[in-house]
Structure 1
Amino acid sequence: MQIMSRDLEIMSGALCFAGTRVPVKHLFDYLENGSTLEDFLEDFPAIDRDHAVAVLEAARLQLFADAAAA
């Protein structure tokens, strides 16, 4: 399952949830500002919980891979 996509024709090339025009950055902005995952999902009904969790998991895996390489 593709969880993220980037297309210069969609949202000026911002990394988005696959199949949507919702930038992945919005999820991290919500969490950074103290909102919950539920708040994000309520405000962006095009994104389902499994999709959002998959993006968070991909970010976690990348973070740990980068830390191990450092």
Structure 2
Amino acid sequence: MQKQWIVSNPKVMMGKPVIAGTRITVELILEKLAAGETIEQVLEAHPHLTREAILSALAFARDALRADVVYPLA
């Protein structure tokens, strides 16, 4: 059985999607990568994370953007 890496609980980080067992949000991982940090740097800063957890956060974001929602960019 594959581990469910991304979870959401209204009592943890206001319900934002986080890496299971942590308070590290998908949003934080995306911000760090968008700012130019490498996966290796994120892993160094958060040694309890794994590469698979970070890749799962990216996949979660990809899937969220596939939803039929319009994002105005004005």
Q: TM-score, normalised by structure 1?
A: 0.75
Which runs of no fewer than 5 residues in structure 1 stay unpaired?
A: none
Highest RCO, 1 vs 2 (Cα 8 Å, sep ≥ 6)? 2
Identity of aligned residues (%): 30
The whole-number CA distance in structure 1 between the counterparts of 2:34 and 2:62 is: 15
Which runs of no fewer than 5 residues in structure 2 stay unpaired?
A: 69-74
Structure whose residues are more often helix by fraction: 1
Give the number of equivalent residue pairs: 68
RMSD (CA atoms): 2.2
Could you list the runs of 4 or more consecutive aligned residues of structure 1 that deviate by over 4 angstroms after TM superposition? none
Q: TM-score, normalised by structure 2?
A: 0.71
Asked if 1:50 corresponds to 2:52, the answer is yes
